[in-house]
Amino acid sequence: MANWRKLVISTLLADGKIDDDEVKALKKELWEDGKIDDEEVRFLIDLRNEAQKKAKSKKEEVNPKFTAMFFTAIQENVLKDGKIDAAEAGWLRGMLYADGKIDEDEKKFLARIKKSAKSTSPQFESLYEDCMSGGKGKKKK
């Protein structure tokens, strides 16, 4: 069976980047039902990771429109119930630290999601502090 995610990612990044029209198409398809689900989030994470690798090799940045869409999807998915619990904080830690560092876009995202959440767990607060202080963040769960 074909791996559709791998095929779509390869197609989107065939020219080495995600352009504005591709961002529009992704938004249209991913939010067709009005929400973003866990499978769609996993796809976006894989796409972002590959896009970052391609951009880094070309000394470029990932399309800011894609980055904004990516973090909107993550926020909507995590804040379905308005709260960030321990499991979600652990998932966020793993996703954000997948490359071993926190970039400025990720810091902005964390600040935005913290502000939007009705409540946060101690685990999220620890993640937030680690990221904002420049800590490595992998040790705590």
pTM over 0.85: yes
Ranges assigned E (strand) in 13-141? 83-84, 119-120
**The pLDDT value given to residue 136:** 56
Mean pLDDT of 79-83: 97
**Contacting residues for 58 by C-beta, under 8 A, at least 6 apart:** 16
Percentage of the chain lying above the pLDDT 70 cut? 94
What count of residues does the chain have? 141
- pLDDT per residue over 35-44, tens digit each? 999 999 999 9
